[in-house]
Amino acid sequence: MAAPFDSHIRKQLHFAAPDPVFRCDVKYGKSRGVQNAESVQNAEGVQDAEARKMQKARRVGKGAQDAEGMWRTKKAPGRSVSCCRVLESAVSKSRRLDCNLLRQTYALLWNSLRKGNICAHGSAGNGTIRTMDTLFTEMENEAKSKVAPLAVRMRPRSLDELVGQQEAVGPGSWLRSAIEQDKLSSVILFGPAGTGKTSLAHVVAETTKAAFVEVSAVGGTVSDLRREIDAAEKRLSMSGLRTILFVDEIHRFNRSQQDALLHAVEDRILVLVGATTENPFFEVNSALISRSRVVELHALSDEDLSTLIDRALADERGLGGRYALDDEARNAIVLMAGGDGRGALTTLELAAGMVEPGTPDAPALLTEDEVRAATPHRSLPYDKNKDMHYDVISAFIKSMRGSDPDAALYWLARMIDGGEDPKFIARRMFIAASEDIGNADPNALLVAAAAFKSAEVIGYPECRINLAQAAIYLALAPKSNAAEAGIDAALAEVRHGPARAVPDHLRDRHRPGSENYGDYRYPHSYPSGWVDQQYLPDGLARGSFYRPSGRGWEAYRADAAARDRMEAPPEPSPGKQGTPPAND
C-alpha cells in the first residue's frame, strides 16, 4: 500500500465533512516509502482560512519510521463522539464519495490505526473522548458477534449490568468509584474462572476516557509490552491521553516480562489492569503488586447465575426470547456451572443448539434432558499445586479432625476426581493420625501407614477404597492433639527458656567421679514398675508439656498411670532389686 492518504481521498473527505464538525491533521515521516504530505492549498471548495489551518498543522516528522497522525473532533458539549461516527456522519451527507473510494479510505485509516500510527483524541465538554474507537469499531463488532459465543455476546457494557461481585464493585467500593470518576490506578483482578474479570476489564474500556489496549500473557512477549509502553508514552506526551493496559492471565508472564512493566506502572505512563486465576501474591512479582491494588472476585452465587441465564434468554444479543427454560433445566445449569458464569452461559448455548428456536411469542422449551446431554460430565474446578489444591486438602483434614466422615469422603472424592496424587492424600492422613488422634487411638497411625502403602503399591482406581476406609477410620477415631501440643510446648521451652542442667542422678555413669552423682532409682525394681523420682530439670514440673485429652486409650492410660502412682510402695520389692542396663 502506498502513502497512507491519497490526495484525492483527502479532498473528498474534506468536502464531505460539514465544517467545523470534522478535520484531519496528519504528519508524515519520510522513511519506508511514505510520501510527504501533499499540499491542501488547492483543495477545491475549501475556504482559504481552513486551507491555511491545514497547511499550518501539517509538518514533516524528521527521521520518523512510520506515518503518525492525530484525529481531532469538535462536538457540542455533553455529547460523546468517536472519530468513526464523525466520519460516517460526514460521509453519509456526501454523494461524491463512491463505495469503492469509501472502502479504500476505511482500509487505509484502519491499517494506520492498527499499526499505532494514528491515535484519536478530542474534547468532550468536561473530559476527553474515549479514543480507541476505531473507524471500524461498530462494523467489526457486528461481524464478530455473529460467531462469538453467548458468553462473549452477553458481556456487560456498564457497571450496572455487571452481575454479582458487590464486595469488589458494588456501590461505595473503591474500584467502582475509581471507574466512575475515571481515576483508575493499576489493579490486579484475582478470582476463579468465569467470575467476571475480563468482563470488568471491558466495562473499564467502555466507561473510562482513556486508550484501552489488550495484551494476552499467553502469547505476549517483552517486545510486545515495550511497544505498548512506547505507544502509551507517545499518547501521553502528544495529547495528554492516558492508556489502560489489560493483561489477561498475567500470572503466565515470567519474571522478566513482569519486570518490563514496573517502570511504566510506577510512573503512570500506563494503568495496568491484570487478570489472573492464580493467587497473585505467589504468581505475580512482589514489586508489581506493591505498585497495584489486588481485588479478589468470588464465585457467582446461584441467584447471580440465574440472573445471567434470564438475561441471556431475553436479550437480543443472546437468545432473543426464542427459548425458555423449565425449573429443572435451570437448576441443572446452575448446579453444573458451580459459580462459573461463563460455564453457565456456555451450557445454555449448547442446550439451545439442540432444539429448533421458537419465537418471542412461542419460545422453544429447553428441558433438563437437553442440558444434561449438552454437558454430560461436570468437572469441578481443581488444580494440583495452586490455591484450590490447598483449599480442598485443608477441608479434608479439618473434616477428619471434626469427626465428620461424610465431609471427609466428599473432599476425598473432590481430590480423586480432580486427579490428585493418591500418595499426597495418604501422606496427609499419615500426619493427621498423629497430629489429631495420637494416643487416643494408636492404631490410627497403623491404618494411615497401610493406606499410604496401598496408594504406593496399588494406585488408582482401586486404592480409592483404601483411602476411603482410612479416612472414615480417622474421622471416627477419638481425638487428641496431646502429642502435637506437647512437643510444640517442649520445643518452645528449649528455644526460649534458660539452659537447664540434667539432674545428677540421671547423668551418664561411664565417667570418673560418677559415683558422686547420687542414687538412681531403677523403676523395674518396684512392684508397679514406677517410682517417684525427678526426671525434669530444675524449674520444670510434671504436666508442663503433656496434657492427656481424657479420650480413648489415652484417657484409659492416664487414669491407670495415676492409680499406679497412688498405689506404688515407696520401697523396692524384695528380690527384685535389679540394676540399670549397662548403656545407662
Segment 178-212, tens digit of pLDDT = 999 988 899 999 988 889 999 999 898 888 888 88
- Same domain, yes or no: 563 and 490: yes
- Same domain, yes or no: 213 and 291: yes
- Same domain, yes or no: 328 and 348: yes
- Same domain, yes or no: 45 and 95: yes
Last residue of a domain, one of 430, 447, 479: 479
- Same domain, yes or no: 183 and 212: yes
Regions of the chain short of the pLDDT cut 50: 1-47, 49-98, 114-136
Q: How far apart are CA 337 and CA 346, in angstroms?
A: 9
Q: Would 224 be classed as within a structural domain? A: yes
Q: How far apart are CA 137 and CA 314, in angstroms?
A: 25
Residue 233 CB contacts under 8 Å (≥ 6 apart), including other chains: 264, 269
Q: How far apart are CA 392 and CA 288, in angstroms?
A: 29
pLDDT, position 111: 53
- Same domain, yes or no: 261 and 175: yes
Residue 14 CB contacts under 8 Å (≥ 6 apart), including other chains: 23, 24, 40, 43, 46
pTM over 0.85: no
Q: Would 579 be classed as within a structural domain? A: no
pLDDT, position 293: 92
- For the CA atoms of 254, 241, 205, 231, what is the dihedral angle to 10 degrees? -40
Domain that residue 350 falls in: 302-374
Q: Would 156 be classed as within a structural domain? A: no
- Same domain, yes or no: 463 and 545: no
Last residue of a domain, one of 479, 500, 531: 479
Q: How far apart are CA 134 and CA 118, in angstroms?
A: 10
Number of domains in the chain: 5
- Same domain, yes or no: 110 and 229: no
For residue 21, give the DSSP letter.
Answer: S
Q: Would 584 be classed as within a structural domain? A: no
- Same domain, yes or no: 125 and 205: no
pLDDT, position 240: 87
Q: Would 272 be classed as within a structural domain? A: yes
Q: Would 508 be classed as within a structural domain? A: yes
- Same domain, yes or no: 44 and 132: yes
- Same domain, yes or no: 509 and 558: yes
pLDDT, position 125: 31
Q: What CATH number does residue 522 fall under?
A: 1.10.3710.10
Q: What CATH number does residue 284 fall under?
A: 3.40.50.300
Q: How far apart are CA 170 and CA 172, in angstroms?
A: 6
pLDDT digits 0-9 by tens, 361-411: 999 999 999 998 888 777 676 676 677 888 899 999 999 999 999 999 999
Cell numbers for 273: 489492569
Residue 425 identity (one-letter amino acid): I
Last residue of a domain, one of 318, 353, 374: 374
- Same domain, yes or no: 475 and 490: no
Q: Would 461 be classed as within a structural domain? A: yes
Q: Would 365 be classed as within a structural domain? A: yes
Q: What CATH number does residue 441 fall under?
A: 1.20.272.10
Residue 545 CB contacts under 8 Å (≥ 6 apart), including other chains: 486, 487, 489, 490, 493
State the first-to-last Cα distance of the chain, in angstroms, to the nearest integer. Answer: 96
Q: What CATH number does residue 369 fall under?
A: 1.10.8.60
Residue 247 CB contacts under 8 Å (≥ 6 apart), including other chains: 215, 216, 217, 220, 253, 261, 272, 273, 274, 275
Backbone angles phi, psi at 410, to 5 degrees: -65, -50
